[in-house]
Amino acid sequence: MSYVIIFILLWPFKILMKPFHQGKGRNLVIQTAKIGDFVNITPLLKHLKKSDVLISKTVLPLAERDATIDAIFMIEDYKKSLLSKIHLAFKLHNRYDNVYLLQPNSVNAFYAAFCNAKYKAFLIAYTRKWYHGIFYQTADVVRLHQKTDFTLESYLKLADTSLSAESYSKHATFPLWKPEKTLQGLTENNQIKIGISISAGNKAKTIPTAVWVKILNVLAGLPCQFYVFGPENEQKYLDQLLEKLSNRENIISLIGKLELHEVPYAISQMDMYIASDSGNIYIADAVNIPVVCLAGPCDLTEQHPTYAPLILTPEDKKLTPESFIFSAPYKFRHSAEELFSLSDTQLDKIRSFVMNKVFQGQNHV
């Protein structure tokens, strides 16, 4: 509500400055969510060719290596005080001809509404507040996004209603950024290289250790090498897993060894990726690596991998989805053991999926 008050107070200045608008064809894309959500806006960025972005600092390493992006504004830099918020509003308001609001929370809607752009296209989601109406009154196009809609397509249709999810491919960095030195064992390896994320940014989406043990056991007998991706603070999850395993020789830890901008290339060297609905599953999808995605509490109707996914949802019908793109809680009614439980049938599907995808056109010894 505070952003509505700021908007009303600044409205006279917005109107007074409108004659001095100098958009020069520039685009502004506003999406301040995390890694997976950033990857899913990249088809729109490709369509627009060049854009400035208002994003989260979390995804800065990817955005800095994206040829479709010019100027980068990080939302965290302007949240410290009222003056800093107003400073960003005036920095943006006469700079653009086209503004696309992809994550419609109060702060993002305020900045989008304050812009004097010729064309403004806003997504409106199921989490909207009644007082957001004042922001949407400034938009040329308002597109309703529901839980049954595919976010990637909703984003694209803000720019052109004829576009679909198949119009453009996703990317994590563009072009794919390759480090000068790669980690030993990533490229020269005759085994099936399977990347895994044993945790997630939203810890409620962390797959339990017992489930990982089942997955590794069902793949036993195949020549698999498992690469564990993650930041340093996920080491405890790997330690818990290693304690439960009798055979650890085929597990290589990459925890804390890669910066975010190095992750896409490292994942591109995998044959397969397994994780819950988290950032790395979308990075893998963007670099055309087949994925096994355990949905757990997430409704993947709204956002999901598209390249070559095996998506496993809870078989128990009482475990209905509780996590959505614009409404993602950090606690759920059911335990992670229930939400990520895998039946024997699902475990067999994982084994068959790995064999079918990896051995197509390949000869692993």
- The yes-or-no answer to whether 2-159 and 192-359 have a common fold is yes
Domain 192-359 top-level CATH class: alpha beta
Tell me, what's the pLDDT at 27? Answer: 97
228-271 pLDDT tens trace: 999 999 999 999 999 988 778 889 999 999 999 999 999 999 99
Judged against a pLDDT cut of 80, whether residue 359 lies above it is answered with no
Q: From CA 77, how far away is CA 91, in angstroms rounded?
A: 13
Sign of CA dihedral 332, 338, 340, 345: negative
- Side-chain-side CA neighbours of residue 152 (13 Å): 23
266-287 pLDDT tens trace: 999 999 999 999 999 999 999 9
Q: Is 282 helix (H, G, I), strand (E, B) or coil?
A: helix
What are the residue boundaries of the structural domains of the chain, listed by start?
Answer: 2-159, 192-359
353-361 contacts at long range (C-beta below 8 A, 24 or more positions apart): 353/290, 353/292, 353/310, 354/192, 354/194, 354/219, 354/222, 354/224, 354/272, 354/292, 355/222, 357/271, 357/272, 357/290, 357/308, 358/192, 358/271, 358/272, 358/290
**Which residues are CB-neighbours of 65 under 8 A, at least 6 positions away?**
173, 174, 177, 261
- Average pLDDT, stretch 154-175? 96
- Average pLDDT, stretch 175-179? 94
What is the band of 128 on the pLDDT scale with cuts at 50, 70, 90?
A: confident
Q: Which CATH superfamily is domain 2-159 in?
A: Glycogen Phosphorylase B; (3.40.50.2000)
65-101 pLDDT tens trace: 999 999 999 999 998 899 999 999 999 999 999 999 9
Mean pLDDT is highest, among 7-21, 22-36, 159-173, 315-329, for: 159-173
Judged against a pLDDT cut of 50, whether residue 363 lies above it is answered with no
What's the pTM?
Answer: 0.93
Judged against a pLDDT cut of 90, whether residue 207 lies above it is answered with yes
- Parallel, antiparallel, or unpaired: how do β-strands 251-253 and 51-55 relate? unpaired
The answer to whether the CB of 358 falls within 8 A of the CB of 348 is: no
The answer to whether the CB of 271 falls within 8 A of the CB of 293 is: no
- Average pLDDT, stretch 143-163? 96
More confident residue, 364 or 276: 276
